[in-house]
Every structure is written in structure tokens, then in C-alpha cells.
Structure 1
Amino acid sequence: MPALRPDDRELFEILATPLYEEVAISGGLAESDPRIAAGGELRAALDLLVSLNLIVRDRSTNRYVCVDPSTVVSHVVGPLSQQGAELLTESSEWARAFGTLSQAWRRSPSAVRGPITEFRDSAIGTFISGAVGEAEEELITAQPQAERDSASLSVAAVREKAALDRGVKMRTLYQHSARRHAVTRKYVADVSEHGAEVRTLDEFFNRMIVIDRRLAIIPGNADLSIAMAIREPGLVAYLVDVFERAWERARPFTNTERSMMNDIAAEQRSMTIRMLIEGHSDPVSAKRLGVSARTFAGYVADLKAEFDAETRFQLGYTMGQAGVSGREPD
């Protein structure tokens, strides 16, 4: 039995299951079916079903036929359950081992106990997972842009749903552009079902996580290879206040009413105008709106059409003559 991954289960649910049902109802699937040829749309689904022994090749008819799934399920679910039990045991042992280290650290006269600690590269994710796992009351997160991939969002969803199920309250801020990111929408729907609140804002802001209003985690450099863990109460309170002000202006992610979407479009238009007036480059402007440079260029093209301008210079002049600043009420 092959080792199964989350991607395999997704393939199984979306393509392999309908294919199995088709083969079962029709009594078989011809080897010559173009959909299962090399590179065919259902080839990967067929290979998965064959590897799971749910479909076998009947040499006498040159067709693929179904196998009773009840004879196979234990061979798939059993090992996964065993692996889960082993991982739980191993995680408990690791927690115990780290507890011993923590005691030694607390006894050490040379331990660094300053209000700010730096973490680098792979240590960042480990620290965040541990800190979120210890949250007792509240998680506050700000996630500018929607560039996290499916794998990292899946890990975050598992971590944050566990905290929500413990009774921890969670609020998250994204930029408006996240509403068009399918992976982010799936993540938001997932954590929202467990009680999280998510809103979006037009303005650019920095990445941040605040745990129980006692620990804040922020980037230490532009490429996010360094993270800073802040425990100084005054600094943490300041960061929370910045978040609260942004939260009050933000709009609920789950609200898709036409009036709300029109407001969001207007806010993105105003932000684009401000970026043009302030003279930012396209890459900088796109980053601040949380979109790609190509999408930002599309926003500029829309403004040119709206103001009947052929060049950016002409657009700027026309907006200036009209008194447009990007700060008008929506």
C-alpha cells in the first residue's frame, strides 16, 4: 500500500471517486478510453485507484473493473490511524523533553531574558506554532497580501482551529485583495466555521501576530527571514492599539453583498489614485495594495479609461484639474 498524502485524498475525492462510480455502474472501463491514456485527464485518478486496489485490470476483457471497497478500507485507514497514534506519542515525548530544557534555562544565570528575541528561517515557524499552541484567551493576526500557499495555510488552519476549539478568540486582518485568492477564501471559511472573525482593509500594513496581549511577533526584515518576538508590555499594547484602529475601519470578509463589494472596489480605486499621486513605482504600489504588478497596471488602465487619458501624465493632469486626490468620501 503506497504512502498517502493530503494531495492524494483531494484527488481521490474530486476525480477518483466519480471515476470509480462510473466504472462500477457501467461494469468496466476500456483500456482504450482516451481519458486514461498517458497524460489524459483521468490518468492520475486511475493510477491512484489501481494503487489502492480499488480498480484492477481484467486481462480477459482488457477492461478495468471495480473491487469491493470494504475489502480495501482497513488497509488504508488502519496504517493512517497507527501513524496518528505514533505521532501523538512522539509529540508528547518531545513536549516532555522541551519541558526539561525550559527548567534548565530558567536555572541558568546567563539566560537571555530581554523583551525582544530574534528567530531566523525555519525556527520562526516552530516558535509561532508553539506560541499559538500556548494561547489561552486571544489571537490577533494581520496578514498583508494573499501570497501564502495552500500548504502553509493548511498548517495554519490546523494550528488555529485547535486554538479556537480551546475557546481562544481570534481576529485576523487581510487586505481586500485576499478576497480574490481562492486558497485564502478556503482558509477563511475553514477558521470562520470554528469562530474566527476575519476582515479586510484597503491599506497596506505589516505582518503581525499578538498572543494573549502579552507576546507580539513581527517581521525583523523585509524578506521575512527574521522574526522578532516582543514581550515588553508597552510595545505590545501599542501594536494592539494599531490593530484595533485598523480593525474598526475594516470590512467583514464573509460579507459579499453588492453594496459592500462596491465599497471595497471604491476603496481600492482611491488607494490606486493615492499611489499614482505620491509617485510610487508599480511594484511598490502593487505591494501596498496586496496585488500583482499586472493587476495594478489593470487598475491604472481602468482609471485612464474613466478619465479619458492616454498616458499616466495626462491621467495625473486630468485628475489634478478635477481635484481628485484619492481621499474623497466613497
Structure 2
Amino acid sequence: MTGPVRRGRAAAPASRTAAPPTACAEQLYDEAHQGERLPVTEHPHQAAARAALTAALAACDKELLTVRPTPGEPVHPLTAILAGNLPPLSPKAAQRVITQDGGRIAQFAPSGVKMRTLDETLEPVVICDRRTAFIGIADGQGGTLEIRQGRVVQHLVRAFLRDWGRARPYASAPTATDIQRTILKAIVNGQTDETIARRLGLSRRSVAEHVRKISDRLGSSRAQLGYLAAKTHLI
């Protein structure tokens, strides 16, 4: 009698040169973990980091914690990504942001976002639902780490909450009314004040006054409003 036989592919002809044991071990490990996501992934290029962050934000539906430095020189790619156009977050997700004083990001805060400031240099951090985190690598190469290791993410959450506790509310951050947001969206779509007024049932002078107030708060001209509104996630 023979023992049980494990069915598999036919054995390949014997080779004169056997594969090193380490190569066999690596192949077995890769096959066993195929399709798994590692707890830490390094994204050396901005495009890959943006794609990973976009996917994480799309799945974020409870809480988003963000540390957003003031863009300066040099700008870390993660900071640049946060200042760019990102997908809208679920309305169910609570948002808290820590930024530096005078930061452009804090200059026009979307409603519902709690924001505080710290008078010190900050490094970019994003934490989605306390499950996934993104941090900038301070190695001069500009890489981004995507972290899904539970204990590391919880450590970053505790660090964020500690900084949140000693930061001060951004009381001077202006807010936009619903009508101003609607006007800004129309401006982004290339509509004139006259068209916006007719669509909203307002006078042209009222629309122009709303535009002037928003421009004064952002410190920009009408031509830049659409760009700044999209950049700061106002709309």
C-alpha cells in the first residue's frame, strides 16, 4: 500500500542546476501571499500616491483626520496632493484638520470641517477611518507611505489627537453661505454674473456683491476664484 497522493501538475524534467533554497522560499511566500495588501506600502511617485489616497478617501465614510502644512518650498508631494483636486468625501464623515497659521488651506474652510492651527512646522498626515494612514517620508526623495498596520495607525491617531488638544481653533477662518457656494460653482462652470443672477432669481448687483465678499476673504480676483475654490475644497 502506498500513502495518500497529492495531485498536482506533472513534475518538470530535472535540471542540472537546482534553484537556490532562498529563491524557492521567496517563490513560495509570493504564491501564498498573492493578492494580499502589505501593511505598509511606499509610493515613491506622486501619481501612485494620489491614486492610493483617492481610493482611500472614496472608501472613507466615518472620519477623516488631516495635517496640512502650508505649501512652501520645497513642497512635499503629499502636501501638493492635499492642495489639489480630490474626490468629495462622504457627507457622513466627520473632518478635522490641523494646519499652520496663515495657511492657504485654512483660509476658506468648507462648512462642517473642524479646523485648528499650530504655530510650528508640520508634516503632512492623512488618516481615513482610523484604518489607513498616509504620511510623507522625510528623506529628501519625496515618497509617501500608505500604512494599514493597526498599531501604527493608532499611534498616528493618538499623535493627531494630542496635537489637536494643544492647537487653537481657527476662529478667523471665513465660511461660505449656501448661496455663495452655488455662485462659486457657477463661476467655475464659466457662467457670467448675469446668467447666475437670472438662474438664482437674484439681481446682478446681489451676485456681484457676493462675489466681491468672497474675493475679499480669499484675497483674490474674480478670475482666480474658481481655481482657489477647487484647490481649497470649498466646492
Q: TM-score scaled to structure 2, two decimals?
A: 0.51
* Pairing 1:294-305 to 2, within 5 Å after superposition: none
Give the SS at the match of 2:121. coil
CA shift for structure 1 position 127: 1.0
Q: Where is the helix percentage greater, Structure 1 or Structure 2?
A: 1
* Pairing 1:65-80 to 2, within 5 Å after superposition: none
Residues in 2 aligned to 1:124 and 1:238: alpha-carbon distance in whole angstroms: 21
Equivalent residue in structure 2 for 1:225, among 142, 166, 174: 142
Give the SS at the match of 1:124. helix
Instruction: Please name the residue that 2:114 is paired with.
Output: 197
> Which residues of structure 2 form unaligned runs of 5+?
1-30, 174-235
Query: 2:78 matched to 1:155?
Result: no
Query: 2:93 matched to 1:132?
Result: no
Query: 2:234 matched to 1:234?
Result: no
Query: 2:36 matched to 1:119?
Result: no
Give the SS at the match of 1:210. strand
Q: Relative to structure 1, is the Cα distance of residues 232 and 151 closer, same or farther in structure 2, using a 3 angstrom cutoff?
A: closer
* Pairing 1:77-116 to 2, within 5 Å after superposition: 109-116=33-40
Larger C-alpha radius of gyration, 1 or 2?
Answer: 1
Q: Relative to structure 1, is the Cα distance of residues 220 and 111 closer, same or farther in structure 2, using a 3 angstrom cutoff?
A: farther
CA shift for structure 1 position 167: 1.1
Residues in 1 aligned to 2:81 and 2:144: alpha-carbon distance in whole angstroms: 20
Q: Which amino acid aligns with 2:159?
A: V
Deviates more, 1:217-226 or 1:166-175: 217-226
CA shift for structure 1 position 109: 4.3
Give the SS at the match of 2:83. helix
Query: 2:69 matched to 1:144?
Result: yes
Is the contact made by 1:146 and 1:177 (CA closer than 8 Å) also made in structure 2? no
Is the contact made by 1:141 and 1:210 (CA closer than 8 Å) also made in structure 2? yes
CA shift for structure 1 position 154: 4.9
- Deviation sequence 1:185-224 (CA, Å, 0-9, x none): 45x33x2x2x111111012232100000011111134446
Give the SS at the match of 2:35. coil
Residues in 1 aligned to 2:95 and 2:161: alpha-carbon distance in whole angstroms: 13
Residues in 2 aligned to 1:238 and 1:163: alpha-carbon distance in whole angstroms: 24
Residues in 2 aligned to 1:108 and 1:254: alpha-carbon distance in whole angstroms: 53
* Pairing 1:1-330 to 2, within 5 Å after superposition: 109-121=33-45, 122-147=47-72, 153-156=83-86, 159=87, 162-164=88-90, 166-178=91-103, 181=104, 184-186=105-107, 188-189=108-109, 191=110, 193=111, 195-223=112-140, 225-255=142-172
- Deviation sequence 1:225-259 (CA, Å, 0-9, x none): 31111111111111111110110111122337xxx
Q: Relative to structure 1, is the Cα distance of residues 224 and 143 closer, same or farther in structure 2, using a 3 angstrom cutoff?
A: farther
Give the SS at the match of 1:118. strand
Residues in 2 aligned to 1:211 and 1:176: alpha-carbon distance in whole angstroms: 24
Residues in 1 aligned to 2:146 and 2:56: alpha-carbon distance in whole angstroms: 10
Residues in 2 aligned to 1:212 and 1:152: alpha-carbon distance in whole angstroms: 17
Give the SS at the match of 1:110. coil
Q: Relative to structure 1, is the Cα distance of residues 198 and 230 closer, same or farther in structure 2, using a 3 angstrom cutoff?
A: same
Q: Which amino acid aligns with 2:155?
A: Y
Tell which has more relative contact order, 1 or 2 (C-alpha 8 A, sep 6+): 2
Of all paired residues, the percent bearing the same amino acid is 26
Residues in 2 aligned to 1:237 and 1:120: alpha-carbon distance in whole angstroms: 24
